[in-house]
Amino acid sequence: MMNLEPKKIACICERLAANTIRRATCGFLSLLGSWGYFSTKWASFVIVLLALAVSGCQRAEHHSAPPEVLAEIGPQLLTSRGKLQFVKNVEAGYRLADEKGLPCLLFFTADWCTYCHEMEETAFVDREVAQLADNFICVLVDADLEKEVCEQFSVSGYPTIQFVSSSGRVLNRLVGLQSAQELMTGMQAALKRFAWLDDPATKLR
């Protein structure tokens, strides 16, 4: 399982987008300059302004449970994937979820899982996914290091995202590569069921 990573510089997608915009605009302005619409001086000035605007990629925001909640977990038990932060120990995640009254999002992954990495680089960098993740304690489960947890939840395909309450009540499950929208839909369904289970009227049934 990965150790806590240093704070990542901007997301790869943001960096690529910034570079693409910069190259395209520079080429466009150069073309206009060759047609006489801009002097070289003015074209250079505009290019510099654009470069300053897009070259400074924002530092990646790491979400999943409010920061003050995760601050109670030692840094050695945290790791980041995309914009999400994960607890690297299932029992520690359960305890924190129980203390804070939050559901858990278990991300079953493996170093050799191509789709897992793809999901980390797409769905997990989506801002809306990151914001929705504030309602969960996210826990990373390494399939090679925590086989007993995989067996407990009958996980055999990766990636798998299992939503559970701190007491182990199943809330929802997503198997395979998920888009940001699919993941958000699954997260919202889990939160809805969690609220239903937590409703006093429900508990009396």
Query: For domain 67-203, is the CATH number 3.50.50.60?
Result: no
Quote the pTM value.
0.66
Rounded-to-integer distance, Cα 166 and Cα 113, Å: 27
Q: What is the pLDDT of residue 76?
A: 82
The 10s digit of each residue's pLDDT in 80-116 is: 999 999 999 999 999 999 999 999 999 999 999 999 9
The 10s digit of each residue's pLDDT in 134-184 is: 999 999 999 999 999 999 999 999 999 999 998 889 999 999 999 999 999
Tell me the pLDDT of the chain averaged across its residues: 76
